[in-house]
A and B are shown apart, each in its own frame.
Chain A
Amino acid sequence: MSDPVSALGDANFEGFAAVHERGPLGMISLRAKSDVKGLAKAIKAAVGTPVPAPRRIVVKGEKAAGWMSPDEYILILPYDGTAAAMAAIADAMGSDHHLAAVVSDARAVFDVTGPKADQVLRKLMPVDFAALAPGELRRTRAAQVAAAVWAVDTGFRVVCFRSVAGYMMGLLSHSAKPGTELA
């Protein structure tokens, strides 16, 4: 089998912050109500984290679980781990009403890093970054497309749909152009 190819194949841009499109990342969209019995077990089995609180993401190494809506979670893991995780979810949820779908290929993932990484995003998202709570996963828009964003060690991770990866790269590069810092 050929290697999976991300939308932009590891694109990079160096401005006043660094923009890096990450290779394919495993993602599962899990829909279930928070009071469903098997949920905690399913998330634990799939990515090893507890159920995230509303609007939060719990990161554990390469894996993470994020709260997307009152009945939707995003599970993040290595690309080739999704089949096993799907099986573990099915096992844990049993007959509880839920929907799990692999969406690894439907997404593009960008890391925007550096001390001024937030300024890149402040140009694109109607989000008060100063008020972003620790561990908060914010769903919003970046200019004209939907995006999810959360803080990582050295900056932020931005996720959008795969088809607009080129647009997102263009936005982030334009906003990170050297000399265009906001402060």
Chain B
Amino acid sequence: MSTRLAKGGRLIDRSAAVEFTFNGRRLQGYVGDTLASALMANDQMLVGRSFKYHRPRGLVASGAEEPNALVNLGTGARLEPNARATTTEVFDGLSASSQNHWPSLEFDVGVINNAIARFLPAGFYYKTFIHPRAAWKHVFEPFIRQSAGLGKAPKEGDADSYEHAYAFCDILIAGGGVAGLQAALIAASSGSRVMVLEQNAHWGGRAPVDGDVIGGVPAADWISDTIAVLGQMDNVTLRARCMVAGSYDHGYVLADEKVADHTPGDGRPKHRLWRIRAGRIISATGALERPLAFAGNDIPGVMLASAVRDYVVNHGVSPGDRTVVVTNNDDGYRTAIALRSVGLEVPLIVDARAEVTGELPARARALGIRITAGRAIVKVKGGKRVTGVCIGLQAGEGAVLEEVVCDAVAMSGGWSPVVHLFSHCGGKLIWDEDQAHFRPDAERAPTNQDGAAMVFAAGAANGALQGDLAMADAARVAGIVVQAAGRTSTAVAASAAPTPEAAMEPVWVMPQGAGPKLRMKMWLDFQNDVKVSDVQLAAREGYASVEHTKRYTTLGMATDQGKLSNINGLAVLAQALNDKIPNVGTTTFRPPYTPVPLGALAGESRGEIFQPLRRTPMHGWHEAAGAYLEPVGLWRRAYCYPRGGESHSEAVHREILNTRANVGLLDASTLGKIIVKGPDAGRFLDMLYTNVMSTLPVGKCRYGLMCNEQGFLSDDGVVVRLSEDTWLCHTTTGGAERIHGWMEDWLQCEWWDWQVYTANVTEQYAQIAVAGPKARALLEALGGMDVSKDALPFMGFAEGTLAGLPVRVYRISFSGELSYEIAVPASHGLALWEKLVAAGADLGVMPYGTEAMHVMRAEKGFIMMGDETDGTVIPQDLNLGWAISKKKADYLGKRGQERVYLARAERFKLAGFETLDGSVIPDGAYIIAPGVNGNGQRNTQGRVTSTYFSPTLGKGIAMGLITGGLDRLGDVVEFNTIAGGTVAAKVVDPVFYDKEGEKQNV
């Protein structure tokens, strides 16, 4: 059994006990424990179930590479699924539960999959869930959905907050192990701005566990001294609990800082996402130990050798009383020595190599540990826990020579550099034959904006695995980086005492001649249940590419992204294909290195500040009046103002009838307003609009259309001539920024010699439409300027004061009524609105919303950008030929509109529609034509673009596009309905109300 040792544990504070729960059991740990070490200390080696076969799963690793120990952390609004126990710091009150089992971890019904495992080989899903087709929707998919996923998604909103932060540095060092710290000392001494980020809560990485001696002192002492030195330097930033997730173009780096994972609810953000721009990046991310592929290597109690000694040395936890060590290299012996030195039993070291000669084996032997060379673990015995191992010849086929009783197995298959950050943005790898791993090729490093190398691997991440080599490599690489940054380092590099290691020997299958029965129990990917036999099957079935094999078998596609399985799987595939590993290639490493919570990616963008809500100066009034708001771009506009128990449509109808009978107020502040000024402004606007704006008299307004170069309508609005050289262009609400940018684009990039300036003054003014037969009376009630027909005629404007406020009043109408649009500086917008409401009480004034505005403009046959247009409509389609100048030699879109395709007779053109039964045509309905098209769908001859119930007329009205347009007046056509039927409608003039325009021109 696993337990807490009486002494030791360099990272834990035995005076600070904490209580936590696992699957409801109350357990005890210490500050400094990970959840994994605390579970192990409580003999909870079983931590989960595998994804496919639901096999019992125990802790394998001690860090980010852990494939099995994924837990649900917390509850309710603080539930986090798939949290890695090995990287979760334990704290008082932590609650965790295991995943992917039912009804319990100990007894899981899903394990039936294990019993039938040989019927569930690689590609099982692809092969099985194809026929019959109908079964997919009703049988297979529901079944797969039920069993898919590991943790459960939280149902409540996240109680925690998150944030982003930006940082800039010359040299970023990813990894605070001894290589990273060595590099940091050298980089920092050059005066460069240096950031050192470490994913764990503690600094120094593996060196203290491995017993390294640096600069003549134990590694732990050198580390704390170095951290103290770096911490004093102004040009150095140190951040622990901060995982570098990815490296990207031009030195962009994302890092995920676990600010308050271990102190939930203390008010700090749970995570902070660092968005860093680094001049150069040193990847000192270390190396990961590889498992060995022997039968039963997934049984709880079989662990990485490095993890076993991590738990012993760092946390004072024993994984078992009797641990068999199995290795193909000298480093594995460190685990045997570490176990023995705390008084635990190591009955046997199984070394796959025929000859064992190194210094570490000699030390193990001197401690009295039995070593057997050229041997293999044939299989592990046990179910939910290791009970023993069977030993045979590595060169053999699996004949058992000896059985050893044990409760843990420590395996070491050699080490693979963590090459992720080097690879993320294009760095290439080379195969190191001696150490049997891929390592970064400095000659083919990722490059930055200057074409120079940007990411530099150092230490174990660069293949310099042993302490002394790693320290030397980090010093060398840091020197190169400092020089590349054009600086000089003054630090003296520290060196580590050498511990010579004999060569490792690649072992991909153990024993090498194992038959199918054993291979079916040799796990490569523990989480996704991919075995040696699956990869070999994939190779036999023709999956020669590693990328295809990966997808076919799901090797490396679990949440650990193949950190343990990648190289082993690749090697097995290469063997099966009878090719060399570098020829088979490696898969692409993509960010993030370990999963980053969605909350961290969202950062501050939640709730009220999820996106920038734009508010007009009268926004608060609308809210207080109970308005129903609708999004228009990022604005929120009042759709209608329901009163009492009114429905929205009742409110809209009331607002329309009142505006047509009395007077209504519309908040039109969101309309775009752009000043265009200069000697060439008229010429410029003539290019921008389809009609002529240069001839507009001062003091007058004119409606204009803008098209893109293809000739399609892009925006519309009223243009006002403010003075001889100054125009004010109104745009649609959504068009303000876009049209301003469009103007600047042409002025800066095409006609830069024209003397024109623009200014976007959209938000300078609140704008209020006062519409209805009593509009004039209302303005006169406010007083201050002459708003009579003579002084201020239709399509004119005047400046003055109303109720003492400085205003500009335009006589323009989108409702068809007598209408004034009043612009007032935004700081006075609410004041003017309130004065209008108060002064209009006797006149029956009511605010109206955007829906009433839409219906009223449709009653008048006015088009709306985005309703009648969709980016494929030219003004001619909308019978707007009157707004297109025939005289102008050029305007934006003119050439596009001359394309013959746009002059075809069958082109859809605007007309009005009235249903024969007075009903409202459904939104989006098509006008059906005889016959069907090549896909068997009904042919169409047009579609509805605006359709409303008109309270003014008491019936449904619509505008739409139809082949022939107004030539079809009087025709009866059929629109489809959502219910599947059709509704008959007559083609009519789109101006339904006040065809002569008498009401607006009074």
Interface, chain A (partner B; CB < 8 A): 1-2, 4-7, 24, 29, 31-32, 71, 79, 97-99, 101-107, 122-128, 130-131, 143-145, 161-167, 170-171, 174-175, 177-180, 182-183
Contacts and interface: CB of A to CB of B under 8 A. Distances in A.
B18 interface: no
Given A71-B757, A170-B608, A101 B764 contact: yes
B163 A97 contact: no
Among B163, B759, B827, the most chain A Cβ lie within 10 Å of the Cβ of: B827
Contact of B267 (A1, A161, A177): A177
Contacts of B831: 2, 5
The interface centre, meaning the residue of B613, B761, B763, B825 with most chain A CB atoms within 10 A of its CB, is: B763
A127 B166 contact: yes
B257 to A, nearest CB: 10
A106 B168 CA distance: 32
B contact face: mostly helix, strand, loop, or mixed: mixed
B552 interface: no
A2 B165 contact: no
B78 interface: no
Given A97-B757, A126-B275, A177-B267, A162 B609 contact: no
Nearest to B267: A179
A106 B268 contact: no
A163 B825 CA distance: 13
A97 B612 CA distance: 36
A67 B167 CA distance: 26
A139 to B, nearest CB: 14
B179 to A, nearest CB: 25
State which size class the interface on B falls in: 35 or more
CB-CB nearest 4 A-B residue pairs: A4-B827, A99-B757, A105-B826, A163-B614
A177 B616 CA distance: 27
A97 B725 CA distance: 10
Contacts of B608: 166, 170
B163 A174 contact: yes
B759 A99 contact: yes
Nearest to B237: A183
Contacts of A174: 161, 163, 604, 609
Nearest to B607: A170
Interface of B: 161, 163-168, 193, 237, 266-269, 275, 277, 604-605, 608-609, 611-617, 634-635, 675, 677-679, 726, 755, 757-759, 761-765, 804-806, 825-828, 830-831
A103 B612 contact: no
A147 to B, nearest CB: 11
Contacts of B277: 126, 128
B266 to A, nearest CB: 7
Contacts of B616: 163
B764 A103 contact: yes
Given A5-B830, A180-B268, A171 B609 contact: yes
A1 B805 contact: yes
B166 A106 contact: no
Given A104-B825, A131-B168, A180-B269, A163 B763 contact: yes
Contacts of B830: 5
B762 to A, nearest CB: 7
A105 B825 contact: yes
Contact of B763 (A5, A79, A106, A171): A106
Nearest to A126: B166
A126 B168 CA distance: 9
Contact of A97 (B634, B678, B826): B678
Contacts of B615: 7, 163-166
Best-buried of A7, A98, A124, A163 by chain B (most CB within 10 Å): A163
A24 B608 CA distance: 24
